[in-house]
Amino acid sequence: MEVAVIHTQGIDVEPIIGLEVHVQLHTRTKLWCGCPVEFGSAPNQHTCPVCLGLPGALPVLNHRAVELAVRTSLALGCTVARQMGWERKHYFYPDLPRNYQISQYARPLAQAGLFEFPHEGRIARIRIQRTHLEDDAGKHLVGDDGQTLIDLNRAGAPLLEIVTEPDFNTPDMACEFAVQLQRLVRYLGTSTANMQHGQLRFEPNINLRVWHDGVPLRTPIVEVKNLNSFRSLHAAIAFEINRQATEWQQTREVATDDNKRNRGWDDERLETVPQREKESARDYRFFPEPDLVPLKLSNLWLRDLHEHMPELPIPRSARVVHEFKVTPANAARLVDDRPTADLLDHAGEAGGDKPTLAKQFLGIWARHAKQRRTSIARLGISPGRLAELANLVASGQLNATAATRVAEAMLTGHTSPRELAAQLHLLQVDDEQQIAAWLDAVLAEHAQAVHDARQAGKKARAARGFLLGQVMQTSAGRANPQTVGRLLDERLRPEA
């Protein structure tokens, strides 16, 4: 990995950052029972003997969750196991009614992936150590009166845990990965990844490489638990880098096998705070889940999932830059929402001029979507009509301002853009008689400019430009500028 030394708190440090991500998979029901996965229901509505951990209740695997986990892992470049097992991971906490989580420890779903994304003008390469399936815990809240409240609607919801290698060295880089990962799972349809609903949660592992008498050493690893916004992810990592640099100078404590620590994030004080000491693997007393058989995946099924993988956002952005002639930043905006990116492609396939389509998607259509708090795809305009509007502009029959008015009219009804432009008298006028009439009116009104334009040099060019502009204005931008220019030059020629 590349070295990135920064100077903070008076010393040189090299941040070493890894991420653990929990992605809630977009299934209808929970991982081990038929209870619905639903956010925002009344507390404890979606529970049954299985997810309440009642004695004798047996888990039954949700195969849809396996499929979504496999698709996500394949998109992250991982090798998916043909056979995997389940383990019980024990800990005692009020939101975990069974007192153990069913997870994958020794034989995870997938391993050894690689996720590449553009970052600060280069390609960041983050190795994925492993992904595994597990169930979520419930929610543990403290009521106004200090009472402990438990809501088990979420208990048993399917999670995909993604563990990266410690390949990040800045908060920016970790955040960009998080943004790209959210976009990826939404593209795949494997998670809605709504952070406000806790469907995408991050736990960065952070420590520093520091130098003591020229010898590289590492500060103890801190895991910041359960961050559910990009902002807090960024802030927590940045805070830890500074805090560990300061702590190092006071304690000279280095990382050992048993001094990894958990900290929480205080969103009001904007700092990390100590939490319970992190359990080591031994404390969790992992053992094979006796109520479940190992899971075998067929090669045929895996190949089928692989072949039906959609074009992923990052390669798609690169293609859009090339085909639609836009900047990488604009390409990222265009592909962000998959249905909208599909619509853009379909409008291109319908014969629309691609650079103009891209401009209109980024401008006119993005504005209308934003006003309606929706996506461009959901404005409900067909690819054919989008293509036609783009081509009216690309061919010079409609100017950009007029296109805005036609677009407005396109949002109600199904009239073609060309017809709308005609009805609104917005199509470009190439009728010489009409243009000559506008031109003569302008020339009569601006005798001084006409005089100046007939001289030579800079002043004459400025006067010509002024007259041309006046004609365009008189025609409300509709006159064909080439025809105006030609007729104007004819009239400015010295009288024979």
- Which residues in this chain contact Zn ion in the complex, by CB under 5 A? 33, 35, 48, 50-51
Q: Which of Mn ion, Zn ion, none does residue 161 bind to, with CB < 5 to 8 Å depending on kind?
A: Mn ion
Residues 65-104 binding Mn ion (CB under 5 A) are none
Q: Which is nearer to Mn ion, 201 or 333 (CB)?
A: 201
Of the candidates 85, 78, 19, 88, the one whose C-alpha atom is nearest the C-alpha of residue 53 is: 88
Quick one: 21 or 403, whose CB is closer to Mn ion? 21
Nearest CB to Zn ion, comparing residues 157 and 320: 157
In the bound state with Zn ion, the residue whose beta carbon lies nearer, of 32 and 248, is 32
Instruction: Give 487's contacts (C-beta < 8 A, 6+ positions apart).
Output: 432, 435, 436, 439
Q: Which segment (89-97, 118-126, 159-167, 391-399) binds Mn ion by CB under 5 A?
A: 159-167
Report the distance separating Cα 261 and Cα 273, nearest Å: 11
Three-state SS for the chain is: CCCCCEEECCEEEEEEEEEEEEEECCCCECCCCCCECCCCCCCCCCCCCCCCCCCCCCCCCCHHHHHHHHHHHHHCCCEECCEECCEEEECCCCCCCCCEEEECCCCCCEEEEEEEEEECCEEEEEEEEEEEEEECCCEEEECCCCCEEEECCCCCCEEEEEEECCCECCHHHHHHHHHHHHHHHHHHCCCCCCHHHCCEEEEEEEEEEEEECCEEEECCCEEECCECCHHHHHHHHHHHHHHHHHHHHHHCCCCCCCCCEEEEEECCCCEEEEEEECCCCCCCCCEECCCCCCEECCHHHHHHHHHCCCCCHHHHHHHHHHHHCCCHHHHHHHHCCHHHHHHHHHHHHCCCCHHHHHHHHHHHHHHHHHHCCCCCHHHCCCHHHHHHHHHHHHCCCCCHHHHHHHHHHHCCCCCCHHHHHHHCCCCCECCHHHHHHHHHHHHHHCHHHHHHHCCCCHHHHHHHHHHHHHHHHHCCCCECHHHHHHHHHHHHCCCC
CA-to-CA separations, 66 to 60, 128, 299, 305, in angstroms, rounded: 12, 18, 14, 12
Binding partner of residue 233 among Mn ion, Zn ion, none, CB under 5 to 8 Å per kind?
none
Q: How far is the CB of 49 from Zn ion (least distance, A)?
A: 7
Contact segment (CB under 5 A) with Mn ion among 160-168, 359-367, 388-396, 485-493 equals: 160-168
**Contact 316/306 with Cβ under 8 angstroms?**
no
Q: Which is nearer to Mn ion, 161 or 176 (CB)?
A: 161
Region of 157-165, 242-250, 260-268, 446-454 interacting with Mn ion (CB under 5 A) = 157-165
Q: Which is nearer to Mn ion, 136 or 345 (CB)?
A: 136
CB closer to Mn ion out of 161 and 345? 161
Nearest-approach distance from CB 25 to Zn ion, in angstroms: 16
Cα–Cα nearest to 189, from 86, 93, 75: 75
Least CB distance from residue 50 to Zn ion, whole Å? 5
Choose the contact partner of 33 out of Zn ion, Mn ion, none; CB within 5 to 8 A by kind: Zn ion
User: Which among 116-124, 140-148, 153-161, 274-282 is the span making contact with Mn ion, rule CB under 5 A?
Assistant: 153-161
C-alpha dist (Å) from residue 21 to 18, 127, 164: 10, 14, 8
Q: Smallest distance from the beta carbon of 134 to Mn ion, in angstroms?
A: 5
Q: Is 161 in the site for Mn ion (CB under 5 A)?
A: yes
Q: Between residue 278 and residue 307, which ones bind Mn ion under the rule CB under 5 A?
A: none
- What does 178 bind: Mn ion, Zn ion, none (CB cut-off 5 to 8 Å by kind)? none
Task: Give least dist CB 161 to Zn ion, A.
Answer: 21
Q: Which of the choices Zn ion, Mn ion, none does residue 19 contact, using the CB cut-off of 5 to 8 A by kind?
A: none
User: Closest Cα partner for 151 from 96, 197, 91?
Assistant: 96
Q: Cβ of residue 51: shortest distance to Zn ion, in angstroms?
A: 3
Number of residues that bind Mn ion (CB under 5 A): 1
162 versus 450: smaller Cβ distance to Mn ion: 162
- Judged by CB under 5 A, the stretch of 77-85, 117-125, 155-163, 177-185 that binds Mn ion is 155-163
Question: What's the closest the beta carbon of residue 400 comes to Mn ion, in angstroms?
Answer: 51
CB of 103 to Mn ion, least distance (A): 7
CB of 60 to Zn ion, least distance (A): 10
Enumerate residues 426-455 that contact Mn ion by CB under 5 A: none
In 434-448, which positions are buried (b, 16+ CB within 10 angstroms) versus exposed (e)? Answer: ebeebbeebbeebee
For Zn ion, the closer of residues 46 and 132 by Cβ is 46
Examine residue 203 and tell whether it contacts Mn ion (CB under 5 A): no
CB of 363 vs Mn ion, minimal distance in Å? 43
In the complex, the smallest distance separating the C-beta of residue 109 from Zn ion, rounded to whole angstroms, is 22
Toward Mn ion, which CB reaches closer, 161 or 289? Answer: 161
Residue 48 touches which of Zn ion, Mn ion, none (Cβ within 5-8 Å per kind)? Zn ion
Judged by CB, which is closer to Mn ion: 66, or 390?
A: 66
Looking at the Cβ atoms of 151 and 161, the one nearer to Mn ion is 161
**Binding partner at 51 among Zn ion, Mn ion, none, C-beta below 5 to 8 Å by kind:** Zn ion
> From the CB of 91, what's the least distance to Mn ion, in Å?
11
Footprint of Mn ion (CB under 5 A)? 161
